[in-house]
Structures are given as C-alpha cells and as structure tokens.
C-alpha cells in the first residue's frame, strides 16, 4: 500500500490533526493527549488494554558546558513533571 505524500505526519500535532480531520487513526502518547498542546479535541480515544510499550526520553549536553548545572535542574524538573502526569 502506498501512502500519498500529503498524508505523511512528521509530528504528533500533524498526526493529531490528520486523525481529527478524518483520514485515519494514530497511536499517540497519553502525555500528549493530556497536554494543553495536544489534547483529545476532535478525537475518540480508545485505550489499549494490556499495552506495555514505553518511550524513553533523554536530555543530553556537552560535559564541559557552562550550563550543566542549569541543564541538570531542567532535566530534574521534566522528570518530576512527567512522573506527576503519569501517576495522576
């Protein structure tokens, strides 16, 4: 099956909008669907029972960066926020 180039999605927002406008379905991360940026507007969400897939997220910076302390604080904040969202 060949997909028309008009329907390629390069971002979660693109996939979200394509699904909301009717041409298909997509697997989207629950954090994205619960966010103010993504959300579930225009889409029907069907949870997949027994789903065990996961995604790893990493932050990287140069070891010698003068911003290492700030980057570490940002990474810790992102990690804590993600944990709160996943639990709640």
What length is written for the chain? 88
Enter the pTM of the model.
0.49
d(CA 5, CA 21): 16
**What's the alpha-carbon Rg for the chain, to the nearest Å?**
17
pLDDT tier for residue 6 given thresholds of 50, 70 and 90: low
pLDDT tier for residue 74 given thresholds of 50, 70 and 90: very high
pLDDT in tens, 46-70: 888 887 777 777 888 998 999 999 9
Mean pLDDT over the full length of the chain = 80
Measured at the CA of 59, the angle between CA 78 and CA 15, to 5 degrees, comes to 75
**Cβ-Cβ contacts under 8 Å for 33 (sequence gap 6 or more):** 39, 40, 43, 45
Measured distance between the N- and C-terminal CA atoms of the chain, rounded to whole angstroms: 40
């Amino acid at each position: 099956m060949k997909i028309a180039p008009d329907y390629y999605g390069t971002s979660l927002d693109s996939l979200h909008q394509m699904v909301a406008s009717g041409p298909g379905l997509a697997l989207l991360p629950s954090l994205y669907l619960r966010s103010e940026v993504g959300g579930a507007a225009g889409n029907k969400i069907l949870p997949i029972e027994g789903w065990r897939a996961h995604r790893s997220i990493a932050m990287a910076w140069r070891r010698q960066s003068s911003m290492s302390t700030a980057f570490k604080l940002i990474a810790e904040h992102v990690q804590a926020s993600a944990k709160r969202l996943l639990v709640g």
